[in-house]
């Protein structure tokens, strides 16, 4: 008899996911923006596959007494109540490590785009105003040989630091715990948060969203940064206070910001941040490559099936 799996997603999952799950399980779909499926159906659910960032709370878990695995497509699990899952003995799987390279690449792409006016330059070069080459136009910030401050030096931050070395950058970092490997391998230097913000020409946010990191970059922290500095958020929108960021960018408190993520996501279409020239923004593309998405699909479906069969998950967070 096939397992019963609930896929919780507003959108169609990456194209290889459903065929893989269908081989082993009967699928129930739940768009979180629509009313929940009937209670008697939820009572039969054995596995939940979470695609996207909709909250998965204790209340939902309690509607599914047969639930024995929650698998998340992605590494960040801030939308899942991990404590509730743990208390109920439900393992939660995610996709760590396999997206580190892709996410570090996008962190660096954003850093370069904001520093060197790539997006504005692209728009200008296509428009009617580009009639003559002007050497004193659109001057950006030098990247090579500058100071990079990484907040959150886990496995994604480590990959960001590696890329920075190729640009001859000095790497500072701040993290919950020291990262001896990054210090030994890459010469990354641990500093307190304030020192990092004051010294860095580029600050990248690569930490998970937790109770400790929510709102970590606010008015005070932005105020410590250099006026020439660039802030890159490739973590979660919730780690930055968007009102403070707006005010800082409007007042020239920093040179530019580049965001892969926001809160809410997407921002309302009339949000004032979207009107700023010194902001680069992309729609949460950190791990969005064909190759990484496929490996994430395999890992997350592997976690789901392992949980259903009572085996240890390939990547288990709790």
Binding positions for ligand DGY, rule: CB under 6 A: 74-76, 99, 286-287
Cis peptide before 264 (omega within 30 of 0): yes
Q: In terms of CB distance, is 74 or 157 closer to ligand DGY?
A: 74
The answer to whether 284 is a known catalytic residue is yes
The answer to whether 265 is a known catalytic residue is yes
User: Which tokens hold the place of 309?
Assistant: 């069969």
Q: Are 13 and 312 in contact (CB under 8 A)?
A: no
| Minimum gap (Å) between residue 205 Cβ and ligand DGY | 13
Q: Which of 195, 247, 265, 298 is catalytic?
A: 265
Residue 170 φ then ψ, to 5°: -90, 135
Q: In terms of CB distance, is 98 or 230 closer to ligand DGY?
A: 98
Ramachandran region of residue 52, left (φ > 0), alpha (ψ -120 to 50) or beta? left
| Minimum gap (Å) between residue 78 Cβ and ligand DGY | 8
User: Which tokens hold the place of 162?
Assistant: 């590696």
**Separation CA 161–CA 44 (nearest Å):** 46
| Minimum gap (Å) between residue 34 Cβ and ligand DGY | 21
Q: Which of 236, 242, 293, 299 is catalytic?
A: 236
Q: In terms of CB distance, is 115 or 151 closer to ligand DGY?
A: 151
- Which residue has the closest beta carbon to ligand DGY? 74
**Cα 103 from chain centre:** 8
Query: Strand 230-233 relative to strand 279-281: parallel, antiparallel, unpaired?
Result: unpaired
| Minimum gap (Å) between residue 8 Cβ and ligand DGY | 13
Q: In terms of CB distance, is 248 or 315 closer to ligand DGY?
A: 315
Chain position carrying tokens 């490996």: 295
The answer to whether 116 is a known catalytic residue is no
Please list the residues that pair with 6 across neighbouring strands. Answer: 28, 48
Q: Which of 242, 284, 293, 299 is catalytic?
A: 284
User: Catalytic positions, please?
Assistant: 236, 265, 284
């Amino acid at each position: 008899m096939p397992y019963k799996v609930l896929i919780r997603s507003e959108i169609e999952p990456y194209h290889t996911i459903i065929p893989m799950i269908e081989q082993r399980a009967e699928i129930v779909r739940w768009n979180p923006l629509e009313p929940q499926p009937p209670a008697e159906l939820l009572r039969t659910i054995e596995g939940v596959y979470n695609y996207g960032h909709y909250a998965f709370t204790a209340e939902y878990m309690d509607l599914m007494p047969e639930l024995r695995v929650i698998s998340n497509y992605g590494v960040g699990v801030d939308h899942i109540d991990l404590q509730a899952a743990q208390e109920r003995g439900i393992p939660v799987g995610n996709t760590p490590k396999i997206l580190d390279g892709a996410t570090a690449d996008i962190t660096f792409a954003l850093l370069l785009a904001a520093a060197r006016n790539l997006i504005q330059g692209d728009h200008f070069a296509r428009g009617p105003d580009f009639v003559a080459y002007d050497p004193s136009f659109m001057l950006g910030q030098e990247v090579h040989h500058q100071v990079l401050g990484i907040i959150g030096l886990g496995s994604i931050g480590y990959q960001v630091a590696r890329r920075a070395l190729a640009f001859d950058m000095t790497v500072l970092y701040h993290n919950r715990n020291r990262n001896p490997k990054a210090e030994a391998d890459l010469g990354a230097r641990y500093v307190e948060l304030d020192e990092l913000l004051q010294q860095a020409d580029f600050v990248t946010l690569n930490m998970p969203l937790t109770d400790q990191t929510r709102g970590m970059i606010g008015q005070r922290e932005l105020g410590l940064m250099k006026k020439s500095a660039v802030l890159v958020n490739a973590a979660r929108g919730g780690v930055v206070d968007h009102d403070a960021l707006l005010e800082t960018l409007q007042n020239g408190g920093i040179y530019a910001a580049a965001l892969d993520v926001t809160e809410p996501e997407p921002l309302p279409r009339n949000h004032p941040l979207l009107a700023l020239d010194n902001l680069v923004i992309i729609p949460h593309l950190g791990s969005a490559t064909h190759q990484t998405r496929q490996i994430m699909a395999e890992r997350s479906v592997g976690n789901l099936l392992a949980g259903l069969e009572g085996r240890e998950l390939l990547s288990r967070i709790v």
